Copies of this chain bind each other. A is one copy, B any other.
Amino acid sequence: MTNPYEEHLPKCNANYQSLTPLSFLERAATVFADRPAIIHGQTQLTYNEFWQRSKRLASALTQFNITPGDTVSAMMSNTPAMLICHHGIPMCGAVLHAINTRLDAEAIALQLDHADTKILVVDREFSEVAEQAVKRASVTPLIIDYDDPDYPDDAPKPKGPLIGLSEWEDVLATGDPDFIWRRPPDEWDAITLNYTSGTTGVPKGVVYHHRACALMAYNNTIHANMSQHSVYLWSLPMFHCNGWCYPWTLALTGSTHICLRWVRAAEMYRLIAKHKVTHLCGAPIVMSVLLNADDSEKQSFEQSVNFNVAAAPPPESVLAAMYDAGFMVTHVYGLTEVYGPAVVNVWQEEWDHLGRSERAIKQARQGVSYAGLERLDVMDPNTMKSVPRDGSTLGEIMMSGNIVMKGYLKNKAATDAAFQGGYFHTGDLAVIHPDGYVQIKDRSKDIIISGGENISSIDVENILFQHPDVASCAVVGKPDDKWGETPIAFVELHAGRTATADDLNAHCRANLAGFQCPRQIIIEDIPKTSTGKVEKFKLRDLAKQL
């Protein structure tokens, strides 16, 4: 029997359009035409100007023979040009590849070749390393220099040379502001490419599509509680999961981007106070910068500021200090493969009545799914069965839904492996609590198995963090003939603090089971990736040599 709801009711232009976040900027150019879209130093762009300049870029790229599916790479700080790249590049069907600006020439060259970059837009802050990268690469991209007129005088690095044949402003001048942008024929079409920084192994090119970025814009707005004319400070690098999709998110509410070339306390406090910033995001290091600022660097502000932190659970002392400083911290969790945050620690009203440390325990958990992530679960990766919601049974965090990547570029094997069994395998080991909140216990490769007992390196690190002198720490396994592995701790102290390994050892003994305690505690600098992640594989090598 035919289903009458499927007869003569096809999709057509009137009732179906590809989802894309680009349409949000188009709308904002009408609804919020004269509102400030971007503020950067002395520069201010309205939403209409943002839109016009994005169309100019798209138009200019087509004049350079860029066609749909071509890669345009950008090595840029958080500037108006980078926001324009997020819109203008996909507006002509090209794919934006945002390069981690902390990488060296060799790593960048690998990416340019893998992405088959046709054009490279380079901020003069990075022109030297970019030039070296292009020399090493097999591809020969056309280079566009971005010479930021608001480059701060006190930047730690002077502007590098012009290395391209074209300059940003000249390119935009050739573009047509009335360019008819290309809505993707299929919302599944790629919009950006992001290489995983990875703590081990070879970077993989994560492909984002238009549909998910549009959904992320809705989800960020709702889950970060943005409202009309919020003000967003760019403390999170835009090359990091496309700034968690916030370059597209703000257009929905006509909110304002406050650019920031690099993270430093005085400038952040100045911008927060001056522009009445309501939202910012970042890794825990950004909180440290704000909290450890000199009094001379701080400025008071009246608004409450939402801080979305990812990468590590915020410790109680940091949460309390941030609250006292005027920031409401929300812990989010995600990976490059899920467009940034896909899990959020939603605040529950009954937590209002908890003491400080009980609150911190609740907030340290990664949380619950974004509405756009259809399924979040903790499973046994062998059986693909959910673990019980008991807060103790370890499993792997699995995700499925519309904000999971399209896959890895030119890497079918890795894509298939990541999506085995119909779920994205995060590689993060976690428990799920009775209230449905997920809590990470370790990366699957970071679990330490000692005498048959699983030791969560995060559990040990959390205890070390509770010691007031500890600024940073990482625990890894060292091969051991008798036990299989034994835990070794690497610790950085706060400036001026004096705890010894023995002090820390006593602290661990007082708070952990014997088998969990580190066999050795080493106080020294901890190697980190360009995005601030601890490089545990290097620590494992060090541990082996002990």
Contact = CB atoms under 8 A, between A and B. Distances in A.
Interface stretch (A5-13, A231-239, A452-460): A5-13
Nearest to A409: B4
Given A5-B409, A15-B400, A23 B374 contact: yes
A346 interface: yes
Interface in A200-239: 207, 218-219, 221-222, 225, 227-229
Given A33-B435, A222-B253, A412-B8, A13 B400 contact: yes
Interface string A242-281: 0000000000110000000000000000000000000000
A193 B405 CA distance: 34
Interface string A417-442: 01100111000000000011000000
Interface in A30-47: 30-31, 33, 35
B422 A13 contact: yes
B5 A207 contact: yes
A15 B368 contact: no
A419 B369 CA distance: 37
One complex includes copies of this chain to the number of 2
Contacts of A419: 12-15
Prevailing SS type, chain A contact patch: loop
B5 A69 contact: yes
Contact of A402 (B16, B207, B402): B16
Contacts of A5: 69, 95, 189-190, 193, 207, 406, 409
A-B pairs, top 8 by smallest CB distance, nearest first, are: A3-B69, A13-B422, A5-B190, A30-B436, A14-B419, A218-B218, A15-B404, A8-B412
Contact of A15 (B15, B219, B407): B407
Given A14-B419, A400-B13, A436 B374 contact: no
Nearest to A183: B374
Contact of A436 (B31, B189, B368, B424): B31
A147 interface: no
Given A14-B422, A222-B222, 11 more contacts: A9-B190, A9-B407, A14-B399, A14-B418, A14-B424, A15-B419, A17-B400, A23-B374, A31-B368, A225-B228, A229-B349
Interface in A359-402: 368-369, 371, 374-375, 399-402
Contacts of A399: 14
A19 B403 CA distance: 11
A283 to B, nearest CB: 25
B410 A4 contact: yes
Contact of A30 (B6, B9, B193, B368): B368
Contacts of A418: 14
Nearest to A374: B17
A477 B35 CA distance: 43
A92 to B, nearest CB: 14
A168 interface: no
B368 A405 contact: no
Contacts of A410: 4, 7-8
Contact of A27 (B11, B189, B368): B368
A304 B30 CA distance: 28
30 contacts: A3-B69, A4-B69, A4-B410, A5-B207, A6-B189, A7-B410, A8-B415, A9-B207, A9-B406, A9-B407, A11-B188, A14-B418, A14-B424, A15-B405, A15-B407, A17-B375, A17-B400, A17-B402, A23-B371, A23-B374, A27-B369, A30-B436, A33-B436, A218-B371, A221-B222, A222-B253, A225-B227, A225-B228, A228-B346, A252-B371
Contacts of A415: 8-9
A68 interface: yes
Contacts of A218: 218-219, 222, 371
A24 interface: yes
Scoring A69, A188, A218, A400 by chain B CB atoms within 10 A of each residue's CB, the highest score goes to: A218
Contact of A400 (B4, B14, B405, B423): B14
A406 B11 CA distance: 7
Nearest to A405: B15
A256 to B, nearest CB: 12
A116 interface: yes
Contacts of A347: 228
A227 B227 contact: yes
A251 B430 CA distance: 26
A423 B31 contact: no
A8 B407 contact: yes
A190 B9 CA distance: 10
A49 to B, nearest CB: 16
A424 B13 CA distance: 9
Contacts of A189: 5-6
A232 to B, nearest CB: 15
A424 B15 contact: yes
